[in-house]
Amino acid sequence: MLAYIWAEDEQHHIGIDGHLPWSLPADLAYFKVVTKNHPIVMGRRTFDSFPGFLPKRHHYVLTRSAVFGDKYKDDSRITVVNNIENLKKILKQEDSDVFIIGGASLFAEFADTVDLLYVTRIKGKFPGDTTMPELQMDDFELIKKVSGTVDERNKFPHVFEVYQRKA
């Protein structure tokens, strides 16, 4: 199955200057638990925002950069794909749930075929330059909703929601 996972604020911001607009360790921990042992799909800028490879996840990175592909050609942790058609073919061969993690253009590209949505909704408005593309939420049903804990490390109220595409 194809799944999205992302966090957004009340204005649907998902990023600023290539990073998250907030600090919410609970969301990062949730992301780790949900995506662990599953392939993750991202654009090159999303990949570049990481401190390194995320353990126990195969990375698919979509980029037009031949230099980027050459850099990782012998690294088994990553598959570099140069166009969306090839990416779609490759993902159809995956046995596991596959998580698209960003950026916005990848979310937009797979909007008609995604099966599951894992969204962390953060109460608040943050500066942002990247927003989540609008999804047809009428096509999905909420199957899980859990309020996150606000504490000294997680200062913003947040809710973890999971949606499944209606049959």
Rounded average pLDDT per 10-residue block, the chain, 167 residues:
98 95 98 98 95 96 92 95 95 94 96 97 98 97 98 98 97
pTM: 0.96
DSSP 90-123: HHHT-SS-EEEEE-HHHHHHTTTT--EEEEEEES
CB 32 within 8 A of CB 5: no
pLDDT for residue 70: 92
How far apart CA 117 and CA 94 sit, in angstroms, is: 18
Closest CA to 132 of 19, 11, 3: 11
Cβ pair 61, 44 in contact under 8 A: yes
Which structural domains are found in the chain, ordered by start? 2-165 (3.40.430.10)
Note the pLDDT tens digit of each residue in 63-83.
Answer: 999 899 999 999 999 999 999
Tell me what pLDDT residue 111 has: 97
Q: What residue spans of the chain are helical by DSSP H?
A: 25-35, 44-48, 66-71, 84-92, 104-109
